[in-house]
Chain A
Amino acid sequence: MAQIPNLDNAPLNLTFLREQSQKELINILKNIRGKKCLVIDQKLSGSLSVIIQTSLLKEHGVELRHLSAEPIQTDAAKVVYLVRSQLNLMKFISSHVNNDISRGLQREYYVYFVPRRAVSCEKILEEEKVHHLLTIGEYPLYIVPLDEDVLSFELDLAYKEYQVDGDTSSLWHIAKAIHKLEFSFGLIPNVRAKGKASVCVAEILNRLQAEEPVNSPDMVVPEINTLILIDREVDMVTPMCSQLTYEGLLDEFLGINNGSVELDASIMGLQQEGKKVKVPLNSSDKLFKEIRDLNFEVVVQILRQKATSMKQDYTEMTTTTQTVSELKDFVKKLNSLPEMTRHINLAQYLSTFTSKPSFLAQLDMEHTMVEAQSYDICFEYIEEMIHKQEPLINVLRLLILFSITNSGLPKKNFDYLRRELLHSYGFEHVGTLNNLEKAGLLKKQESKSNWPTVKRALQLVVEDTDTANPNDISYVFSGYAPLSIRLVQHAVRSGWRPIEEILKLLPGPHSDKKRGRFSSSPSLDTLQGASASMDKVADGRRSLVLVVFVGGVTFAEIAALRYLCSQEAMAYDLIIGTTNIVSGHSLTESFVEKLG
């Protein structure tokens, strides 16, 4: 099965978006005649893997390389760099060129920036005195469809960059990406944003519309009705909790990259010792689509049931005489056998992690923190983790959760834990601590925590969650309803107005605007009910809400959104946009900056 997801069932014409991106890339390659060496930066090559097959690139006379400090070894006289516009990558390019010059090699160099040229990058190339040797272009890849309902802007460092460095480049990119969508699918009439970065994206989006308007003919109903922007900063609790859905757990323990996991072949029951295999995970896999968003406990049961029923069918098959149609049904079922095996293998492997006492203890601790009880127990637990020198990321993840739910730690504890951290993991992590502090993820307590109020008002902790037959999004964390998705739930249902008081307790401003020809109609939430029915597209499809997470979204949150979407009372289809897919681990890791 291909890693490139099938997008035919997407609520928007995403196939078109992807084909456009493919074409643009191929055109770039076509226009550079002859044999060439294509050098792609590592991260970008991951993004491209869900856009285009490598074989297609090779058809255009391309040798593929990854960008690194190592000089390029190739016979091709033309070297094409395809890189994200990131400062640190420029040094590689300039050192390659200078290396070629010193060896007397004459080559033609092309640098294509993704998604657009950047003055700062070109400045470095100028300073390194190689700029005049390069032909510079752009490959405007702003959006990568990861699945039929998930779009990624592929901005891995977005959250850290704007929280710690104050670099808002990613916000402009997000706005530009949404604006690009609007060119294909019409101006989005309603925009609701919560959080500083989100409001900022909404503003830039409006500026872009003023500068380069999307024409919306009066008669055409825009395909996307509402845009909801949620800043990750608003809810850092959710990503720090361990995800308990199947896909979420896969990401937590195995790390899903660009819609696939890589693991030892032996785990998948293959006889290739020590070899790695890539297992694609997207909706093209029917079974995965069915179980990806379920609580892992339930997944195990379902897989067991399926296996049993298949075994039963099989025994029936061998004992009694069957009609042809029954045989056909059976064969059809057999077709799903490879998928079954794949997921049984994965699930089995996952349970080796989930059954560990340490994991259970960690879950226990997360719940205690979310419920904001027993401060001392939590504090001692973290202290002990540090003393035992457990993996730094695990420690920080809990510490962040602890700090946020308590709105910081008392100074004495704060300094003590920081000192213990430095003593245990080395002084080089003073940079990491500094980053976390700048981002407000780890801080000194200065005021009483809002968390208990928020938790209560939004019913984030739900007792007696039935994970098998959920009646609330809280099933994804076995009893905790992710704050971010609660907000989306409210925003979709009734706008910000009814929960304004709560919103004020969360970080950052919020906004609710109508745009285009809709801006004249009063933005009153009381009208919402009336307009919601009007918004319905005539052909019976539900109209669409685009939920954009500025700073990343977890699989568990996506699962919760899909759950909302599946409810009958829901008037909208949801599609998700995000800077990238995150987990508590990857998010925390982005803040780690060893000075050394």
Chain B
Amino acid sequence: MANVSVAAEWQLLYNRYYRKPELYRMRWKHIDLSRNKVACAPFGGPIAIIRDDSKIVQLHSESALRKLRIFNSAGVQLSETVWKNPGGRLIGMSWTDDQTLACIVQDGTVYRYNIHAEPLEPNISMGKECFEQNVVDCVFWGNGVVCITESNQLFCIPDFKNPKPCKLADPGIEELPFCMAVIEPQYTMSGNVEVLLGVGEAFVVAVEEDGVQQLGAEVLRGPLQKMAVSRDGQWLASFTHDGRLLVMTSDLQKVIMEQECESALPPEQLSWCGMDTVLLYWDDMLLMMGPRGDPVRYLYDEPIILIPECDGVRILSNSSMEFLQRVPDSTESIFKIGSTSPAALLYDALDHFDRRSAKADENLRLIRSSLPEAVESCIDAAGHEFDVLRQRTLLRAASYGQAFCSNFQRDRIQEMCKILRVLNAVRSHEIGISLSIQQYKLLTPSVLVGRLINAHQHLLALRISEYLGMNQEVVIMHWSCSKITASLAIPDAILLEILLDKLKLCKGISYAAVAAHADKNGRRKLAAMLVEHEPRSSKQVPLLLSIGEEDTALMKATESGDTDLVYLVLFHIWQKRQPLEFFGMIQPRNLARDLFVAYARCYKHEFLKDYFLSNGQLQEVAFLLWKESWELGKNPMASKGSPLHGPRIKLIEKAQNLFSETKEHTFESKAAEEHAKLLRIQHELEVTTKQAIFVDSSISDTIRTCIVLGNHRAAMKVKTEFKVSEKRWYWLKVFALATIRDWDALEKFSKEKRPPIGYRPFVEACIDADEKGEALKYIPKLADPRERAESYARIGMVKEAADAASQAKDGELLGRLKLTFSQNAAASSIFDTLRDRLSFQGVS
């Protein structure tokens, strides 16, 4: 019997059924829509109501001050505020996509409110020109508004998120248009908004930012009285001067349908119902017209407001909220009177089953082959149902049928249950968001959660996101911030506990963001306590800096091991503090200190010197000075005639003095002293030899250069001046003489006295210079037979090498020498014999 009653409420328009279930009885009292301006948000959003100041109404027992009141879709009041805004009459108001209420007044100012009726700063102005002209009408869309002024100029805010007013092209009309409609930017060719104006002629003026066009002259026979653009911007529904409903493409090129209406008077409201029918509303009659067939007529004895949705129209009256939509296919197939579709039979089977009738089985057998579709239809129909009991029956029918299907996606029912639980929860009177399943899918769960959060329905939002497996971070974050804003009276410690209790629900949530909010609300101490819990140093440290906790910031940055963070803190303190204070802060912190030094070494030399002086690291200053002395040397000025050796030496001497301040740096002090002395001597040498080849070479090099130049006296002087050891002296002189191939001098030198390091340097120098003959002068003088052997070997004298090696009684050496001469058969046999002889003696 239930089946009959369901379809009995449907109306047939041509071949399609429509239904109009009541969503809510309105909870409000004494609201008369006709006395008020009303803004209803789509997607079951809130309703804003304010007394219409353009109408003369009788005040009952109420204040003369107007109140802006905000209700949910079920008529439960959410908030109210007194309207005291200047700027003249309220021209229009509407909800934007992010549920902000935008109200535009005569002077072109746009006031914005959130759902809690709290004004959002700043107010937006439509610009000076608009201000001077007075707004008379406006049209809103998702995120923008167009208004028309008394002088018939159009002004526009294309996007409230980035509110930049702009003036559209001059439409060039004298009279105020009959009607106005907007094609949203996303549907126009240019990507800018397009405004359609119904003027007193047989065309429509289309205005854009940079041009005006006349449209529809081919198809129109007279002016249009009312227009409505479809949701997708493709179609334009209009009411003509002679009482016809005309649906055209939105470029007014083609007429899609044309129907006579019963009245030549334009309707008060014209609206699309989904994408397939158009609604016209006069005084007490609502007419639904489709492309074919007789219109459906509904009568109302109270004023109504049509709220277009993607899949129908919500109808708000003083007492109720209804939803007019086409009956979904699945629902129709089940409930249509006399339907024998598999789904209807399945639904019926459940009924029989519940009544323990055997007919259940009969039904099932009838539809066996199409059972999966039947199940699917039941699930789908359940989704479209507003009545909870009927949802349940439909799902039970689906589940009953599913038991007999082997290959049906099991989770479909579960999925639908999930969706319905969410939908039913938000449809309750208290929440009052009456979404259809199609609207819900279009809106997406995350936006729904966002709207719940905005309405401060945190608990439900949390539950839903948990239930749907979404990230709860957004909810908890918003809750925490709202909690902080709302809890001025709660002491920090207690509030912290409350917050932490919830924040810990969500892993990876940004404590720093909550702390930043606390700081913005003037609760610095709470912020400091919160930021302590932030695990990510990269978020924690910057915040600590912004709330002035520099020491902690430095500590946390150091702990993190992230040097970039340490630098961040470092530069922050550096900029804010006096140098000495800054030095004091970084001094005890090794990492910060070392990083500062590394940076300053590269970029802030002088400041670095100050630092080292301030903490008594004089040797470091000395190193810096010493380094500077070289930079002076590299200065191009140095090579131009007057050498800068004077200032250079001064710097080095300064460094020397600083080194000598500490006992540990005697070595460096001595070195600096020697360096200064060396520079002086080198400078003198350059003057006397007139060759700029001495400065900045080492002591050893200086000696070599002197000898190479034949200036033995100077070499000797350098030697004694720097107490160069005899050993080094011999190496240097031998090599220097070999360089200039002065073999006689070399020989003379070898005979001067017994060389302190033997004759090896002489041998090496000669061999390196490839002078075998010269080498032979010294090889016999080598004391160690091993060395002798190797030296002979190096100049290829096998026999002598072998003799010397056997003299050394070194088998290993013999082996090695043999290897060296492996290409030479004769040579290797020599070594073999010798080695045999050695091993025979048992010496190897």
B9 at the interface (CB under 8 A from A): no
A547 at the interface (CB under 8 A from B): no
A175 at the interface (CB under 8 A from B): yes
Contact flags A50-67 to B (C-beta < 8 A → 1, else 0):
000000000000000000
Shortest C-beta distance, B703 to chain A (Å), equals 9
- List, in ascending order, chain B residues with CB within 8 A of A422's CB: 671, 674, 698-699
State in angstroms the CA–CA spacing of A493 and B277 once bound together: 79
A568 at the interface (CB under 8 A from B): no
B776 at the interface (CB under 8 A from A): no
Name the segment of A325-333, A368-376, A412-420, A450-458 touching the other chain. A412-420
Q: Is B590 within 8 A of A166, CB to CB?
A: yes
Interface band, chain A: 35 or more
Q: Is B626 within 8 A of A87, CB to CB?
A: no
State in angstroms the CA–CA spacing of A120 and B602 once bound together: 11
B599 nearest in chain A by CB position: A120
Q: Is the interface of B mostly helix, strand, loop or mixed?
A: helix
A207 at the interface (CB under 8 A from B): yes
- List, in ascending order, chain A residues with CB within 8 A of B508's CB: 213
State which of B536, B564, B668, B722 has its C-beta within 8 Å of the C-beta of A423.
B722
Q: A119-B567, A167-B563 are in contact. Are A211 and B623 (CB under 8 A)?
A: no
- List, in ascending order, chain B residues with CB within 8 A of A383's CB: 727
Taking CB atoms and an 8 Å cut-off, the chain A residues in 3-35 that contact chain B are none
Q: Is B794 within 8 A of A212, CB to CB?
A: no
Q: A87-B603, A427-B698 are in contact. Are A168 and B563 (CB under 8 A)?
A: yes
- List, in ascending order, chain A residues with CB within 8 A of B561's CB: 168, 171-172, 175, 200, 203-204, 207
Contact flags B293-309 to A (C-beta < 8 A → 1, else 0):
00000000000000000
State which of B599, B627, B700 has its C-beta within 8 Å of the C-beta of A424.
B700
B652 nearest in chain A by CB position: A427
B666 nearest in chain A by CB position: A415
Contact flags B615-639 to A (C-beta < 8 A → 1, else 0):
0000000010011001001100000
State which of B590, B675, B735, B757 has its C-beta within 8 Å of the C-beta of A427.
B675
A562 at the interface (CB under 8 A from B): no
- List, in ascending order, chain A residues with CB within 8 A of B594's CB: 165-167
Q: A423-B722, A423-B728 are in contact. Are A210 and B535 (CB under 8 A)?
A: yes
State which of B564, B591, B670 has its C-beta within 8 Å of the C-beta of A119.
B564
B628 nearest in chain A by CB position: A595
A203 nearest in chain B by CB position: B561
A104 at the interface (CB under 8 A from B): no
State in angstroms the CA–CA spacing of A124 and B564 once bound together: 14
- List, in ascending order, chain A residues with CB within 8 A of B634's CB: 596
Q: Is B667 within 8 A of A415, CB to CB?
A: yes
Q: Is A431 within 8 A of B536, CB to CB?
A: no
Shortest C-beta distance, A278 to chain B (Å), equals 33
Taking CB atoms and an 8 Å cut-off, the chain A residues in 396-445 that contact chain B are 415, 418-420, 422-428, 430-431, 434
Taking CB atoms and an 8 Å cut-off, the chain B residues in 518-540 that contact chain A are 535-538
A286 at the interface (CB under 8 A from B): no
A88 nearest in chain B by CB position: B602
A119 nearest in chain B by CB position: B567
State in angstroms the CA–CA spacing of A594 and B634 once bound together: 13
A596 nearest in chain B by CB position: B630
Q: Is A419 within 8 A of B568, CB to CB?
A: no
Q: A207-B560, A428-B630, A596-B633 are in contact. Are A118 and B567 (CB under 8 A)?
A: yes
- List, in ascending order, chain A residues with CB within 8 A of B348's CB: none
Q: Is A124 within 8 A of B627, CB to CB?
A: no
Candidate in B536, B563, B790 with the most chain A CB atoms within 10 angstroms = B563
Taking CB atoms and an 8 Å cut-off, the chain A residues in 118-172 that contact chain B are 118-120, 123-124, 127, 161, 165-169, 171-172
- List, in ascending order, chain A residues with CB within 8 A of B699's CB: 422-424
- List, in ascending order, chain A residues with CB within 8 A of B447's CB: none
Q: A87-B602, A165-B594 are in contact. Are A426 and B627 (CB under 8 A)?
A: no
Q: Is B671 within 8 A of A430, CB to CB?
A: yes
- List, in ascending order, chain B residues with CB within 8 A of A200's CB: 561
- List, in ascending order, chain B residues with CB within 8 A of A212's CB: 536
- List, in ascending order, chain A residues with CB within 8 A of B538's CB: 211
Q: Is B564 within 8 A of A118, CB to CB?
A: yes
The interface on chain B, measured as residues whose beta carbon lies within 8 A of the other chain's beta carbons, has a size of: 55
Shortest C-beta distance, B796 to chain A (Å), equals 13
Q: Is B537 within 8 A of A211, CB to CB?
A: yes
Q: Is B603 within 8 A of A357, CB to CB?
A: no
- List, in ascending order, chain A residues with CB within 8 A of B537's CB: 207, 211
- List, in ascending order, chain A residues with CB within 8 A of B674's CB: 422, 427
B597 at the interface (CB under 8 A from A): yes
Q: Is A167 within 8 A of B595, CB to CB?
A: yes
State which of A203, A387, A426 has its C-beta within 8 Å of the C-beta of B727.
A387
A388 at the interface (CB under 8 A from B): yes
Q: Is B567 within 8 A of A427, CB to CB?
A: no
A389 at the interface (CB under 8 A from B): yes
Shortest C-beta distance, A137 to chain B (Å), equals 15
Shortest C-beta distance, A377 to chain B (Å), equals 13
A96 at the interface (CB under 8 A from B): no
B732 at the interface (CB under 8 A from A): yes
State in angstroms the CA–CA spacing of A553 and B404 once bound together: 68
Q: Is B732 within 8 A of A387, CB to CB?
A: yes
Q: Is A166 within 8 A of B591, CB to CB?
A: yes
- List, in ascending order, chain B residues with CB within 8 A of A594's CB: 630
Q: Is B678 within 8 A of A427, CB to CB?
A: yes
- List, in ascending order, chain B residues with CB within 8 A of A196's CB: none
State in angstroms the CA–CA spacing of A431 and B598 once bound together: 15
State in angstroms the CA–CA spacing of A118 and B595 once bound together: 13
Shortest C-beta distance, B185 to chain A (Å), equals 25
Q: Is A424 within 8 A of B698, CB to CB?
A: yes
Shortest C-beta distance, A390 to chain B (Å), equals 11
A116 at the interface (CB under 8 A from B): yes
State in angstroms the CA–CA spacing of A336 and B541 once bound together: 59
- List, in ascending order, chain B residues with CB within 8 A of A165's CB: 594, 597-598
Q: Is B627 within 8 A of A595, CB to CB?
A: yes
State which of B591, B667, B675, B698 has its C-beta within 8 Å of the C-beta of A425.
B698
- List, in ascending order, chain A residues with CB within 8 A of B400's CB: none
B732 nearest in chain A by CB position: A387
- List, in ascending order, chain A residues with CB within 8 A of B567's CB: 118-120, 123
B824 at the interface (CB under 8 A from A): no
B493 at the interface (CB under 8 A from A): no
State which of A420, A425, A595 has its C-beta within 8 Å of the C-beta of B626.
A595
- List, in ascending order, chain A residues with CB within 8 A of B362's CB: none
B256 at the interface (CB under 8 A from A): no
B724 at the interface (CB under 8 A from A): yes
Shortest C-beta distance, B255 to chain A (Å), equals 45
Q: A175-B561, A212-B536, A596-B630 are in contact. Are A119 and B698 (CB under 8 A)?
A: no
Q: Is B535 within 8 A of A119, CB to CB?
A: no
Q: Is B794 within 8 A of A387, CB to CB?
A: no
Candidate in B559, B696, B698, B820 with the most chain A CB atoms within 10 angstroms = B698
B562 at the interface (CB under 8 A from A): yes
Candidate in A210, A213, A420, A422 with the most chain B CB atoms within 10 angstroms = A422
Q: Is B563 within 8 A of A169, CB to CB?
A: yes
Q: Is A423 within 8 A of B724, CB to CB?
A: yes
Shortest C-beta distance, A536 to chain B (Å), equals 32
- List, in ascending order, chain B residues with CB within 8 A of A424's CB: 698-700, 728
A421 nearest in chain B by CB position: B698
Chain A to chain B: the 5 pairs with minimum beta-carbon distance, closest first: A166-B594, A596-B630, A426-B698, A204-B561, A169-B563
Can you pick out 27 interface pairs between chain A and chain B where the beta carbons lie within 8 Å of each other? Answer: A118-B564, A118-B567, A120-B595, A123-B571, A124-B602, A165-B597, A165-B598, A166-B593, A168-B561, A168-B591, A171-B561, A204-B561, A207-B559, A213-B508, A384-B757, A389-B700, A389-B735, A418-B667, A419-B667, A423-B722, A424-B699, A425-B700, A426-B701, A427-B698, A430-B671, A431-B627, A594-B630
Question: What 8 additional pairs, Cβ within 8 angstroms, besides A87-B603, A167-B595, A171-B561?
Answer: A207-B537, A211-B535, A212-B536, A386-B728, A387-B731, A424-B698, A424-B728, A595-B630
Binding site for B on A (CB under 8 A): 87-88, 116-120, 123-124, 127, 161, 165-169, 171-172, 175, 200, 203-204, 207, 210-213, 355, 357, 383-384, 386-389, 415, 418-420, 422-428, 430-431, 434, 594-596
